[in-house]
Amino acid sequence: MLLHSFRITPNNRKVEAFIVHFDLPVEVHQVSFKDKETQTDEYFELNPNRRVPVLVDGNFKLWESNAILTYLARKFPETSALPTDIQGRADADRWLHWQSSHLMPFMGAVKTGVETDLNNIKPWFTALEVPLKDNDYVLGSLSVVDFAVAAYLMTKLGNKLDYSEHPGVDAWRNRMTNLKGFVETQVKMPPAA
Ligand SMILES: N[C@@H](CCC(=O)N[C@@H](CS)C(=O)NCC(=O)O)C(=O)O
């Protein structure tokens, strides 16, 4: 299996962290935007959206980072990273959709300047605090959801947010930051010249 990735961004790092954390047999290729690698005809065949990440498993090409996470969790059930019962699976899906339809748009709006008040993250943190106030991980045990959500809170912007009113989220974020998969996928920025 081969993952086309660009580690510096959370949608890519979440998948790389998952692969590294569980030592999965997936090769990782970092795409070069400088060389316009995603603009080639070959890349269009991998992902017609011309985005990363993309997982290639034989003839099967899969894009969308959360779909990749759940695919890997099912391909490697020894990870125990995705509930198999119908309600547990719905719980996982709920948080994966929450990440892509609420958390990610908030972060994107801050980046583009549409959102200027970082305190507006707090209602989302209040929701995330509900499972985390009594549990070490969002679904109770370590799952794809933790990788999908935590990757966003470890970005430059994620580091600037105020976690003081949400101690469960704060403790979980620290727990995730120290997880092998995230420790080993930290991108070291070159020192400013
Ligand atoms: N919803 C997609 C988002 C994919 C996406 O937007 N990837 C970005 C990096 S995080 C990308 O490839 N950007 C390059 C571009 O827009 O040309 C996912 O979760 O995989």
Domains (range + CATH), the chain: 2-79 (3.40.30.10), 86-183 (1.20.1050.10)
Q: What is the pLDDT of residue 192?
A: 62
Q: What is the pLDDT of residue 104?
A: 97
Q: State which amino acid sits at residue 120.
A: N
By the 10 Å C-beta count (0-12 exposed, 13-18 middle, 19+ buried), 88 is classed as: middle
**Rounded to 5 degrees, what angle do the CA atoms 131, 93, 74 make?**
110
Q: Is the CB of 11 under 6 A from ligand 1?
A: yes
* Residue 9 Cβ contacting ligand 1 at under 6 Å: yes
Is 47's C-beta closer than 6 angstroms to any atom of ligand 1?
Answer: no
Instruction: Using alpha carbons, select from 21, 49, 9 the residue that is nearest to residue 143.
Output: 21
Q: Is 51 in the pocket of ligand 1 (CB under 6 A)?
A: yes
| Cα 159 to ligand 1 centre (Å) | 21
What is the end-to-end Cα distance of the chain in Å, rounded?
38
Phi-psi region of 80 (alpha: psi -120 to 50; beta: other; left: phi over 0): left
Residue 94: half-sphere exposure toward Cβ, Cα within 13 Å: 12
Please tell me the predicted confidence (pLDDT) of residue 94: 98
pLDDT of res. 188: 77
Ordered per-residue pLDDT tens for the chain, 193 residues = 999 999 999 999 999 999 999 999 999 999 999 999 999 999 999 999 999 999 999 999 999 999 999 999 999 999 999 999 999 999 999 999 999 999 999 999 999 999 999 999 999 999 999 999 999 999 999 999 999 999 999 999 999 999 999 999 999 999 999 999 999 999 876 666 5
Where do we find the tokens 């030592």?
A: 23
Give the model's pLDDT for residue 187.
Answer: 84
